[in-house]
A and B are shown apart, each in its own frame.
Chain A
C-alpha cells in the first residue's frame, strides 16, 4: 500500500488522468442511474411505494390491469381469506384546471386501504407535482364528460403512475365517472397477510408479486431495460478503461517489475500494489461522483425525474470497484509473465 501510494505521488499526472476518467464515467453512470430510478418512480411510484405483497387480477385480463374486473363475489372471497386486502382501480384520464388547462392524470380509487388517501365524495387529492404547477387546495377541476366538478382537497408526495400524476378520488365518484361498479386490483401486503409464507390462490384470479405487477404496466419493462442497459454498458466500459489504463501503465513499468522480481519481490506483492492503486483511484473518484450526483439531485429542476438514494449509490460504487478490480487484474497478467532477464537486458529505466 505504501509503495503504491508513493508511486502515485511521484507520478501525479499519470494517475490524475486515470482518476479523472474513472470520475467522469462513474459520474455519468450515477446520473444515468438516477434518471433511470427517477423515470421508474415517475412511471410507477404509486405501486413502488407499496410494501411487498401480492396483487390479484382477473385471469381473463391477460395481465392487463385495465381489463381486470373483480366482481362483488370475488372481492368477498378475497376479503374472507385476507381481511386486510385492499382493492383499487386505476384509470388514465385528464381534467381541466381553473386556468382551462388540460392535464393528464391517473385516477385511483381505493377501498379499505391505508396505503392510499381516503377521499370524500366530490373531492380529489392530487400528486404534489400538480401543486408546483399552480393548482391549489379548493380549486375545482372539471371534465367535459362529468356532470359535477371535483374539489381539490389536498396533495400527496411522490404518487405517480405511467408518467402521470395520481388523482385519488372517492370510489363512488370513480363509479360515476367511469361507469363501472367493480374494482380492478386486489392487494394483500405480506406484513398483514394470513399464512404469509405463500400467496393465497383464488379461483380465476392471477397473483403477481410487486416486481411482476410493475412489469404489467405498459412500457415500464421496455423503458427500464433500455436504461439499465445503458448503466450496464457504462459499468463494462469503466472496467475496460481500468484494464486499458493499467495495461498501459504496466507496460511502462515492466522494467521495474522485472528488476523487482529479479531481486526476489513476490509477484503477489506487485499485484497488491496495482490493486491498491486501483482501489485508491476508484474510492476518490467514486466519493467525488457520489457527492456531485447527490448535489445534482438537490439542485435539479423539480420536473426532472431523478432519484438516486445513498444505498443505490453505494451498490453502484461496489460494482465499480469489483469491475475495476477485474479490469486491473486482467491487465496485470503481464506482471506475471514478465521475465527478470528482459528487464535486465533492457538497460536503465
Chain B
C-alpha cells in the first residue's frame, strides 16, 4: 500500500451559474521517499491539485488517502492534525511569521506538531536543522532582515523540523534567482534522501527537474504524461 494516493480527484469552481472544472479526474500515487514534480502551463491545475492533496482546500469528488486514512472524509480538526504533524509546507514565498526569530519559527512548528521531544531535545533538533540549511548563525534574526534566499531556507527548515512524512512545495524557487533556486532544490533533495521524506512539488522551471525523481505533466486539468527520471 502506498503512502499517498489520489484517485479520480475532481475540482469544480462555480462562478455564478457557470461551472468550471479545474481538475478532471486525477489519479496519482506518490513514490515514497522520492521527489515528484507537477509541471504544466499556467492554469493546468497543478497548484490546485497540490493544495487539495495537502488538505488546504477540498476536492469536489474523488479519494485522497494518506497512510490508509481517507483525507476527503476527515473532519477539519483531524485534517489539521495531519497537516501539523505529518505534512510540511513550502510556499512560493517564505511566509515566515514577521515577529518571530528564525529559531522561534522552528520552535513554533514543533509546538504546533505537538512534538514529543523534551525542550532540550527540541533545541538540539532546531540547531541541527538550522545547521543543515546553513542558517544557524542567523538564528536570532527576524524575517525582515533576511534575504530572499535566507527566508526560503528558513521556510524549508520550518517545513521539515517536525520530520513530516510528506512535504508539499508550491513553486518553492519561483521567488529566487537561479543560483538560490539550485541551492534550495539541492537542499530539498538532500533532506528528502536523508530523512526519507516524500515530496510533491509544483514547478514551472524545467531546470529544477534535474533534482526530482518523478515528473507528472498536466494540461487542462488532466495528467498528460508521467515519467520516472532516476
Cβ–Cβ < 8 Å partners of A256 in chain B: 97-98
Q: Which of A324-339 contact B (CB under 8 A)?
A: 339
Interface string of A310-347 (1 = CB under 8 A from B): 00000000000000000000000000000111011001
Note all chain B residues with C-beta closer than 8 A to A10: 98-99, 142
Interface string of A239-281 (1 = CB under 8 A from B): 0000000000000000110011111111000000000000000
A-contact bits for B108-123, CB 8 A (1 contact / 0 none): 1100110000000000
* A10 CA / B89 CA spacing, docked (Å): 25
Q: How far is the CA of A260 from the CA of B112 in the complex (A)?
A: 9
Residue pair A263, B99 in contact (C-beta under 8 Å): no
Assess A348 versus B112: contact at CB under 8 Å? Given A6-B99, A264-B80. no
| CB closest chain-A residue, reference B114 | A264
Instruction: Flag if A264 contacts B175 (CB, 8 Å).
Output: no
Q: A62 at the A/B interface (Cβ < 8 Å)?
A: no
- Total CB contacts across the A-B interface at under 8 A: 62
- Please give, as numbers and ranges, the residues of chain B lying within 8 Å of A347 by CB-CB distance: 92-93
> Interface on chain A toward B: helix, strand, loop, or mixed SS?
helix
- Measured CB to CB, the closest approach of chain B to A230, in angstroms, equals 39
Indicate if the CB atoms of B56 and A262 lie closer than 8 Å. Answer: yes
Shortest Cβ gap from B169 to chain A (Å): 12
What is the chain A residue whose CB lies nearest that of B94? A348
Complex contact B142–A344 (CB within 8 A)? no
Residues of chain A at interface, number, CB under 8 A:
24
Give the complex CA separation of A348 and B109 in angstroms.
19
How many chain B residues touch A (CB < 8 A): the figure is 28
A259 to B89, CA, bound (A): 10
A–B Cβ pairs within 8 angstroms, 29 of them:
A3-B108, A9-B99, A11-B99, A256-B98, A260-B97, A261-B80, A263-B84, A263-B89, A263-B109, A264-B83, A264-B85, A264-B87, A264-B112, A265-B84, A265-B108, A266-B80, A339-B57, A340-B56, A341-B51, A341-B57, A344-B51, A344-B56, A344-B91, A344-B95, A347-B92, A348-B94, A348-B95, A349-B95, A349-B98
Write the residues of chain B forming the contact surface with A, with a CB cutoff of 8 angstroms.
Answer: 51, 56-57, 80-81, 83-85, 87, 89, 91-95, 97-100, 104, 108-109, 112-113, 142, 158, 170, 175
Q: A256-B98, A348-B93, A349-B95 are in contact. List 9 more A-B contacts (CB 8 A).
A: A9-B99, A256-B97, A259-B95, A263-B109, A264-B85, A265-B112, A266-B112, A341-B57, A343-B95
